[in-house]
Amino acid sequence: MTTTRIKAEPAKYNLSMLPSLNKEKDILGYEMLNEEVSEKEYKTAIVATIPDEYKKAKFSNLFEGAQTGLLRTINEVESFKLGFYFTGAPGAGKTYAGWSVYKLLNFSTIPCYMIDCDTLLDNIQNANFNRPSLFTLEDVENYKGFLIIDDLGARGETAWTNNVIRRIISRRFDWHRKTGFTSNLSIKEISEKFDDRIASRIAGFCDIYTFMSNDKRI
C-alpha cells in the first residue's frame, strides 16, 4: 500500500475538537467544550458519538484499493478528488466504511462529521421553520471539516430535497470542502431519482467506490 501521511496530532486534546456542525449546540454540552483532556479521554469521547453498530469500525478492515484512494483524498494529494461516493447493495459495508473514515480523521484531530441524509434534511427543515435543530443549511454548506452524508437517496425525492442536496453539493465542492457519501444508488440512478446536475457534481468531484460484498448482516 502507498505510504500514508496524516497530519500530526497536537500535544493537547480538547473537547472543542469534537465533531459538530454547530459548536454551540454540541451534543456533549457546551460547558464541556474548553476542558483539556487526555488522548484516551478524547478518543473515548469521539467513539461515544458513533452508533453502537459501528463503534468498532476499523479503516484497516476496508479493501486495500479503498484505503489507498481515501488516504490520497484525505491527505489532499494533488489531482485527487475532493470526496468519495460509496455505492453498493444493502449490507455491503458502506456505512461501516464511512464511520471508519470518521474515526481515522477525528482520531488524527482532522474534523469530520457524519450524519445520515434523512436526519440532515430533517434538521435543515426544522431550522427553516424555526423549530429546534442542530444546524442550518448554511452550517452544512460552510462546515470546513470532512462531511460524510450516509444513505443519500434513501428518502423519496421532492423539489425541496433536490434543491437542498444540490445546494449542499455545489456550495461545498465550489469551496473545495471535502465531502463523502454512501448510497444504495449508482450515479445513473442518482441522476434518474434526483437530477442530472446532482449526479454530475458527484461523479465529477468524488472517487466512486463500488462495494461488492454480499450482505454482511446475514
Q: Which residues bind ligand ATP (CB under 6 A)?
A: 53-54, 61, 88, 90-96, 151, 182, 184, 211, 216-217
d(CA 24, CA 21): 9
Contact partner at residue 205 from Mg ion, ligand ATP, none, CB < 5 to 8 Å by partner kind: none
Query: DSSP assignment of 130-183, as one string?
Result: T---S--HHHHHH--SEEEEESTT-SPP-HHHHHHHHHHHHHHHHTT--EEEEE
| DSSP state at residue 41 | H
Strand boundaries in 49-102, DSSP class E: 83-88
CB of 210 to ligand ATP, least distance (A): 11
CB of 25 to Mg ion, least distance (A): 25
Q: In the complex with Mg ion, which residue's Cβ is closer, 42 or 96?
A: 96
Contact partner at residue 197 from ligand ATP, Mg ion, none, CB < 5 to 8 Å by partner kind: none
The kind and range of the H/E element at 64 are helix 64-74
Question: Of 54-62, 78-86, 87-95, 100-108, which part binds Mg ion (CB under 5 A)?
Answer: 87-95
CB of 94 to ligand ATP, least distance (A): 4
CB of 97 to ligand ATP, least distance (A): 7
Quick one: which of 20, 73, 95, 123 contacts Mg ion (CB under 5 A)? 95
| DSSP state at residue 9 | P
Per the CB < 8 A criterion, the answer to whether 181 and 206 are in contact is yes
The kind and range of the H/E element at 207 are strand 206-211
Contact partner at residue 69 from ligand ATP, Mg ion, none, CB < 5 to 8 Å by partner kind: none
Q: Which residues bind Mg ion (CB under 5 A)?
A: 95
